[in-house]
Structure 1
């Protein structure tokens, strides 16, 4: 497989590194492009891949191309590709652009273009990402398998209807930021109660990691696992009461909903 990457930011790099580390592609078969020469050449140097100045040339020599550009830049990229439509012959495009619908992408490209829309997240940088995808009107079952293979190299992947992609953005696309904020708050509380900062952060981080692993590995509902550590009249139920009294659950749901709505707004621009 020959893989292309348009947009050399953190997400694009994470997905590319995942594919390289899993052996799905070889560095010599990967091409990258971006608006700035320095960015693409820096990534090419770090990973041993090929830097290309032209997006159309990149597509012409690739079987699969990730489009990992910012929402305001993507229309320019799509226009460029449409004006040289032959570069897309046989090429699968996978978009990671938040809020950008398949209809918008496909309308900007030749009628035969094969497109997949996906939403990964930044833990893909360490192979622990969570991604979802949905197929465009011309994408095939083979394209789905290719997408699963590439995204799965950087974590877990599921297929969802496009109507749920904005919700995916709210839950997992933006979700790492919520968790980082929670870890920071737990560590701050530890410091408030006398723990040295490094120890408080280590304890908070490992607690979140361990709890998440329990959910993933046991398959039990989080409420069941919570009840397993919540003794009658004990410290944990007192803490849970404080979380509820301060709107923890409502704030979390509001955060996911806000990100979901923002993703919908981005898609309407």
Structure 2
């Protein structure tokens, strides 16, 4: 890709994205620019990835063909107000904040502008992110491909309709937190039964990683994969019965629906 990619925000997500792009050789280091007021974060990014850095948001906005707003949702109005008249002609704005609809972002810019709304997640930090992508009608198919390629450089990406973005928040954007809680609970149980803490985390986390890979690579229904582990009268079905009794499925479903509802409220 022969384009300049800019980031406003040098936090974990911004750096994860920049790192994925650099490691995949999608564009050269010289074609990546990151802006932030935090000079410490910028220096870290520069040392680690060899990219250009600046404390001036407008410098990134003026030079980027694709500009990623990798800041917290509450900072969007402030950041956009400062750059809206400096964005490169024909440039694409990529938003990664929960609850920021395409129309709302356009209104903050005060004009029609190319925008791609994306919901990534934190596993991008280890090259295993999942991103949902939704462009407005000004973005061409080729430009969408460019944005998709950015997010596929540190994980997987899928096109979705904007009406599904709040669901994406609950099933992908926020869900690593639920998985971490599950891993922590598994490890706590192992520690209770005598396993050292470090080993417990390793066994639990690898089991989750391997199970997820089985779902993705075999194409089998999760229920069928679960049945393969459950021998008649065995240890696994005993644990499954307890999880059903305690309402694991209903708790997850309720939590995710609450998450979706909260995202919908933030979009208003």
1:37 is matched with which residue? 39
Quick one: distance in 1 between partners of 2:88 and 2:113?
Answer: 7
1:217 is matched with which residue? 217
Quick one: distance in 2 between partners of 1:37 and 1:18?
Answer: 21
Quick one: distance in 1 between partners of 2:132 and 2:238?
Answer: 37
Quick one: distance in 2 between partners of 1:71 and 1:188?
Answer: 34
Shift of 1:44: 2.3
2:30 is matched with which residue? 28
Pairing of 1:20-169 with structure 2 (within 5 A): 20-82=22-84, 84-85=85-86, 87-169=87-169
Note if contact 1:34-1:40 (Cα within 8 Å) is conserved in structure 2. yes
Shift of 1:166: 1.0
Quick one: distance in 2 between partners of 1:8 and 1:35?
Answer: 9
Quick one: distance in 1 between partners of 2:224 and 2:97?
Answer: 36
Shift of 1:110: 4.9
Quick one: distance in 2 between partners of 1:130 and 1:81?
Answer: 28
Note if contact 2:63-2:88 (Cα within 8 Å) is conserved in structure 1. no
The answer to whether 1:201 aligns with 2:201 is yes
Q: TM-score of the superposition, structure 1-length normalised?
A: 0.94
3-state DSSP class of the match of 1:88?
Answer: coil
Pairing of 1:169-188 with structure 2 (within 5 A): 169-188=169-188
3-state DSSP class of the match of 1:24?
Answer: coil
In the TM superposition, what whole-angstrom CA distance separates every residue of 1:21-61 from its partner, at most 9, and x where no partner exists? 11111111111112333332332233211112222221111
1:7 is matched with which residue? 9
Shift of 1:266: 2.1
Unpaired runs of at least 5, structure 2: none
How well do the aligned residues superpose, as a CA RMSD in angstroms? 1.4
Shift of 1:113: 1.2
Shift of 1:62: 1.1
Note if contact 1:81-1:88 (Cα within 8 Å) is conserved in structure 2. no
Moved beyond 6 Å, runs of 4+: none
Quick one: distance in 2 between partners of 1:65 and 1:48?
Answer: 18
2:251 is matched with which residue? 251
Shift of 1:207: 1.0
In the TM superposition, what whole-angstrom CA distance separates every residue of 1:197-219 from its partner, at most 9, and x where no partner exists? 22222211111111111111100
Quick one: distance in 1 between partners of 2:12 and 2:258?
Answer: 23
Equivalenced residue count is: 266
